[in-house]
Amino acid sequence: MKLYNTLTRKKETFEPQDGKTVRMYVCGPTVYDHLHIGNVRPVIVFDTLRKYFERFQGWDVIYVQNVTDVDDKLINRSIESGEPVSSIATQYTKSYFNLLMQLGAETPSHSPRATEFVPGMIELIEALIEKGLAYETDGDVYYRVSAFPEYGKLSGRKVDDLRVGARIAASEKKENPLDFTLWKRSKPGEPKWDSPWGEGRPGWHTECVVLSRHFLGETLDIHAGGNDLVFPHHENEIAQAEGLTGKTFARFWLHSGMLMFHGEKMSKSLGNFAYAHDVIEEFGAGTVRYFYLSRHYRKPLDYSTDGLVAARVAVTRIQTLIDEVTSELSSVDSGDTNAQGRAFLTSLQPLRERYVAEMDSDVNTVGAIAAIQDIVSETNRFRAIATGNARLALPGAISLIRELGYPLGLFQETESASKGIEDDLIRLLIDLRAELREKKEFALSDFIRDRLADLGITIKDTAQGTIWK
C-alpha cells in the first residue's frame, strides 16, 4: 500500500513498524461549538483509512484523537456566554461523539482530554528548557526555533522567509518572532494550573505531542489532520518531539484538503459555514460520506447543495438495488445458484481487485467508488436477465457491495423498519393489498399504498412480487 507523505512530498510504501499494529494519531476538535461541515472531512477520510487497514490489510489500529478542552476559543466563548469553560467543553464534547455516531465513524481507541494531561505537558516543557530548546520570560514559556535547525521541513518553508513580516506583540517577550508558546501565563478568571513558571495553561502545540507520545510511543506510524494544520501546528509538534529525542516523530504525515465555499475556505470566522448535524439531518450520513469520498482526499472540495443532491442520487441508486434484491429473495428457499450465477459472481472479482488497487494507491476512494458503481451496473444487468436458480447469485453480489462499502461507511446493515415486528406488520398490509387487487377492490388497495407512502414506506410491484423500502 502506498500513501502520500507530506513530509517527503511523494507516495511511499506503507506498513506498520511492527508489521501488525498501526499507531495512528489524528488531531481532534476544539470543543467550543458544534462542528461545521468542513470539519467533518478529516473525520470521514481517516475513519475510512482506519477501516480499510483493519478489514482489507488485516492490521490492528490504535487510533488516538485528542479533545482540546482548554483553549482561547473556549475561553472567549465562556466570556461571551457566562458559562464555565468546563461546562462548554462537556456540552460540545458530547455533541462531537454524537456526530461520530451519526456518521458511522468508529470511536477512537483513545480520546484523551487535554486537561487530563497537563502534568505531562509541564514535564515536557521542563525537559525542553533543560535542553536549551525553550525559555521562560515573565511566566510565559516559548520554544526557541533557532535551536532546531530542521524547522520548516514539513511545510517546506524556510526560516528566513518566515521571519519576513513576522511580528512580536507588545505583550510578548520573545527572542525571535517565530518562537511559539509552550506555556501561557493565565489572566484573571481563566483556567489555570500550577507550574514552575507560575499559574498558567499549556499551548495547543504541546498538547498533541504529549498525548500522542503517551498512547503511541516516541515514533508514530501516522500523524494526520486537515492540511490547514501543516503549519504551524504540525511543524511545531515536530520541533518539540524531535528536538527533545532526536528520533523521527511520525513516519507518515497525511493531510486532507479543505472544504471550500465559493472559492474560500469554509470557516466560522468568515461566516460561510453550515453545521454538520444540520447537513446530516437534511441529506443523511451516507450522502455526506459519499460526497466527500467521491473526491480524492488531498484535493480541495467545493461545498454545494447540487453536489450533495448528486451524491444522494448515487447512494439511493445503490441502496435501492440492495433493498430490492433483499426483499425479492427474502421468501425464496435457500439453495445453490447454477452455472450462470457462478459465472456472474466470478466476473465480479476483477472489479473487487480494482477496488483494492485503488484504495492501495493513496486511498483513491474516487476509483474505489467507480469500481462499486460498475458492480452495481453489472448486477442490475444480470438481474434483468437471470431466471430460476441463477438469481440465487444476487445475494453474493450484494454481499460484495457491502464488503467494499464497509471502509467507506456505506451500504451496511442498519437497524430500521426492515427488522422486527414492523417488518411483519408491513408485510401483512402488503399481502392484504394483494388480495384486494385480486378481488379488483382497487380503491382500498390504493388506500393502503397511499397510507404507507404517508409513513415513508414505498412499495413496488415487480414480476417477482411486491417489494418495499
Lowest-pLDDT range, 21-30, 91-100, 311-320, 432-441? 432-441
The yes-or-no verdict on residue 43 having pLDDT over 50 is: yes
- Where does the pLDDT of residue 416 fall: very low under 50, low under 70, confident under 90, or very high at 90 and above? very low
Kindly state the greatest CA–CA separation across the chain.
Answer: 91
The yes-or-no verdict on residue 170 having pLDDT over 80 is: no
Per-residue model confidence (pLDDT) at position 331: 62
Q: How far apart are CA 360 and CA 424, in angstroms?
A: 43
Burial class (CB within 10 angstroms; exposed 0-12, middle 13-18, buried 19+) of 288: buried
- Where does the pLDDT of residue 168 fall: very low under 50, low under 70, confident under 90, or very high at 90 and above? confident
Per-residue model confidence (pLDDT) at position 410: 97
> In terms of DSSP bridges, do strands 10-13 and 2-5 run parallel, antiparallel, or are they unpaired?
antiparallel
Decide: 64 and 108 in contact? Cβ < 8 Å: yes
- Where does the pLDDT of residue 418 fall: very low under 50, low under 70, confident under 90, or very high at 90 and above? very low
Per-residue model confidence (pLDDT) at position 417: 36
pLDDT tens digits, residue range 251-296? 999 999 999 887 787 777 777 889 999 999 999 999 999 999 999 9
Lowest-pLDDT range, 173-182, 377-386, 387-396, 438-447? 438-447
- Where does the pLDDT of residue 463 fall: very low under 50, low under 70, confident under 90, or very high at 90 and above? low
- Where does the pLDDT of residue 327 fall: very low under 50, low under 70, confident under 90, or very high at 90 and above? confident
Residue 463: how many other CB atoms lie within 10 Å: 5
The yes-or-no verdict on residue 80 having pLDDT over 90 is: yes
Per-residue model confidence (pLDDT) at position 453: 83
Q: Which residues of 431-445 are buried (b: 16+ CB within 10 A; e: fewer)?
A: eebeebbeeeeeeeb
Distance from chain centroid for Cα 462: 38
Per-residue model confidence (pLDDT) at position 403: 97
pLDDT tens digits, residue range 122-147? 999 999 999 999 999 999 999 999 99
Instruction: For the chain, state the CA radius of gyration.
Output: 27
Per-residue model confidence (pLDDT) at position 264: 80
- If one compares 348 and 169, the residue with the highest pLDDT of the two is 348
> Domain residues of the chain, as ranges?
2-301, 305-405, 421-468
pLDDT over 90 for what percent of the chain? 79
Decide: 374 and 398 in contact? Cβ < 8 Å: no
- Amino acid letter at 439? K
Q: Does domain 2-301 have CATH number 3.40.50.620?
A: yes
> What is the pLDDT averaged over residues 422-432?
80
Strand order in the sheet with 21-26: 60-65, 21-26, 220-226, 250-256
Quickly name the fold that domain 305-405 has: Four Helix Bundle (Hemerythrin (Met), subunit A) (1.20.120)
Decide: 370 and 321 in contact? Cβ < 8 Å: no
Retrieve residue 159's grid coordinates: 526560516
Per-residue model confidence (pLDDT) at position 465: 64
pLDDT tens digits, residue range 102-118? 999 999 999 999 999 99
**CA-CA-CA-CA dihedral for 119, 124, 127, 132, to nearest 10:** -130
- Where does the pLDDT of residue 375 fall: very low under 50, low under 70, confident under 90, or very high at 90 and above? very high
Alpha helices in 246-336 (DSSP H): 276-283, 285-293, 305-328
- What is the reported pTM? 0.87
Strand order in the sheet with 200-202: 134-137, 140-143, 181-185, 200-202
> What is the pLDDT averaged over residues 13-35?
96
User: Which residues make beta-bridge pairs with 185?
Assistant: 200
> Residue 274 gets which letter from DSSP?
-
Per-residue model confidence (pLDDT) at position 340: 96
Decide: 64 and 112 in contact? Cβ < 8 Å: yes
pLDDT averaged over every residue in the chain: 92
The yes-or-no verdict on residue 96 having pLDDT over 80 is: yes
**CA-CA-CA-CA dihedral for 434, 435, 439, 440, to nearest 10:** -20
Retrieve residue 95's grid coordinates: 455533541
